Amino acid sequence: MGCVSSSTKPTKKIVRERRKSRMGLQDFKMKYKISNKVLGSGGFGKVFEASLVNDKTHKSAIKVISKKKLEGVVEEIFDEIAVLKNLDHPNIVKYIEMFENNDYLYIVTELCEGGELYSYIHDKVSKDGNFKESEAADIMKMLLMAIVHCHSYKIAHRDIKPENIMLNKEGHVTLIDFGLSKQKDIKGMKSVVGSPYYVAPEVLEGEYGLKCDIWSLGVILYILLCGYLPFSGKNAMDIFAKISEGKYSMKHKEWDSVSDEAKDLVTKMLEMNPKKRLSAQKCLNHEWFEIAEKLKGEEGDALDLDLLQNLKEFKSTSMLKKTAMSVLVKLLTAKEIGKLKKQFEAIDTDFTGYIDAEELSTAMKKSNLNVPAKEIDKIISEIDYKGNNQINYSEFIAATLKTKKILNDSRLKVLFKEFDVDNSGYITKDNLEEAFERLDKKVTKQEIKEIYEQHDHAKDGRISYDEFKIMMLGEDDIIDTASES
């Protein structure tokens, strides 16, 4: 399926609700060891690096927020959490979980390796001058794909700036800090938010929509191409005045070597009238990206026939294994899922961050796999853990992972303890109900019963670590896995 307007797919709704089963400080200490390394700080608290108690090689970012400083804005924090929990995209920071006690909130997200795009731009401009257009296109494409995903949920980030974009050594981009993000209602958004240099003109007028993010990305693209800001001034009011006028220049010498196609995209992203400004999907359809790809001399990633065949033959697993796999995906490194990420992007042709029936069918046909429409629907329903009739990014990774290669004993123990909530060494039915609630997964009594029928081999009303390992790997692989750990 080609790139189409996001209106062709149903708008996702973000559900904001607080969990009945609250994970406290003791739960946090059983699972994470927080370090003294401060990754960042803000008005409400600090962000620390932490490792798993049972797997010190796995690092996470922990945002520790003082509740005293949250007076009057607690719901905004839970809004941010609700947004992050629902977004599922390779270029958006992954929310993992949250703990709280009477004094603090502990929000756990993936640790984004590398540094801020801001620092990368500063160093690049200082040493080499401007970015190559192919480099700028790679960065902008990833950011636009992340924003297409956000906008499909009617979520505007509202504070896109180089400081909120992480870039690692491999050039992978991750959008972070959704503290100002908001789900747009019909009346639009009215509060003036964001950083002065990147604020859209309609934001200054007090009412705006999703396309405020496109303006911010247009400012970033301008900087990537020439090395300086389109709108600058002595103070915020001076900057706002220039943004309101919408006057910027492409006449300096830095623009002499920039292609007309790149200039055209910048102009269309920095369109004053948001109704005329391109959507994120239409930006991705711009000819500049195709030209930049050709300049790199690289072909797009070919679809992996074996992977598609595995999807075609995917058999449903129990709710417990599906949930364990969804937790496992959050433990994986970028290197471990790099090839799968590229395959997902090759199938997700409209860049929404999820695969629908039409896209999966097209991918199968391209690989000469004849799969009837009913079977396509069945494949999706088997993989669709969230129950939204599509394959999300994490679901795709979970369904295509070769678990025997990446599941060592330490990771298996981390997964087991996700469900052994009282640390008894067994997963009881009460444990399972609480674990599912903590993971925001609604399950029925019948599903719980089926889990024990499948995995409680000893028939003692609980699931041992060995029984859990059999579920994850199969009985024949237990000895091999133990020897590798």
Residue 377 annotated to the active site:
no
Q: Which amino acid is at 46?
A: K
Q: Which tokens is 382 given?
A: 């088997």
CA atoms of 454 and 460, how far apart (whole Å)? 13
For residue 477, is pLDDT > 70? no
CA atoms of 369 and 362, how far apart (whole Å)? 10
Q: What pTM value is reported for the model?
A: 0.85
For residue 169, is pLDDT > 50? yes
> What percent of the chain has pLDDT above 90?
54
For residue 165, is pLDDT > 80? yes
In degrees, to the nearest 5, what angle opens at C-alpha 91 toward C-alphas 392 and 83?
65
Torsion angle defined by CA atoms of residues 86, 89, 94 and 98, in that order, rounded to the nearest 10 degrees: 10
Q: Average the pLDDT over 292-316 and give the result.
A: 76
For residue 3, is pLDDT > 50? no
Architecture in CATH for domain 411-485? Orthogonal Bundle (1.10)
Q: Average the pLDDT over 446-450 and give the result.
A: 92
Q: Give the pLDDT of residue 385.
A: 86
Q: Give the pLDDT of residue 194.
A: 52
- Which residue, 394, 396, 400, is CA-closest to 330? 394
For residue 220, is pLDDT > 90? yes
In degrees, to the nearest 5, what angle opens at C-alpha 65 toward C-alphas 60 and 71?
155
Q: For the segment 91-112, what is each residue's pLDDT rounded down to a tens digit?
A: 999 989 999 888 898 999 999 8
Q: Which residue has the tokens 């958006």?
A: 92
For residue 148, is pLDDT > 90? yes
- State the catalytic residue, choosing from 88, 159, 350, 356: 159
The domain made up of 115-296 has a fold known as Transferase(Phosphotransferase); domain 1 (1.10.510)
For residue 312, is pLDDT > 70? yes
Write out the residue limits of the CATH 1.10.238.10 domain(s) in the chain: 302-401, 411-485
Strand-pair partners of 62: 48, 108
Considering Cα of 362, then 364, then 370, then 375, what sign does the dihedral take?
A: negative
Residue 300 exposed, middle or buried by CB count within 10 Å (0-12, 13-18, 19+)? exposed
Write out the binding residues: 63
CA atoms of 313 and 304, how far apart (whole Å)? 14
Write out the binding residues for ATP: 63
CA atoms of 72 and 469, how far apart (whole Å)? 46
Write out the residue limits of the CATH 1.10.510.10 domain(s) in the chain: 115-296
Q: Give the pLDDT of residue 353.
A: 93
CATH superfamily of 302-401: EF-hand (1.10.238.10)
Write out the residue limits of the CATH 3.30.200.20 domain(s) in the chain: 22-110
Q: Average the pLDDT over 8-37 and give the result.
A: 69
CATH number for 22-110 (one of 3.30.70.380, 2.60.40.420, 3.40.50.12140, 3.30.200.20): it is 3.30.200.20
- Which residue, 299, 341, 324, is CA-closest to 471? 324
Q: Give the pLDDT of residue 475.
A: 61
Read off the pLDDT band of 179 (50, 70, 90). low
Read off the pLDDT band of 479 (50, 70, 90). very low
Read off the pLDDT band of 219 (50, 70, 90). very high
Long-range contacts of 22-31 (CB under 8 A, 24+ apart): 22/100, 23/97, 23/98, 23/99, 23/100, 23/438, 24/99, 24/100, 24/101, 25/99, 25/101, 25/104, 25/106, 27/99, 27/421, 28/99, 28/106, 30/417, 30/423, 31/417
Average pLDDT, the chain: 85
Q: Average the pLDDT over 336-351 and give the result.
A: 92
The most confident of 165-179, 438-452, 460-474, by mean pLDDT: 460-474
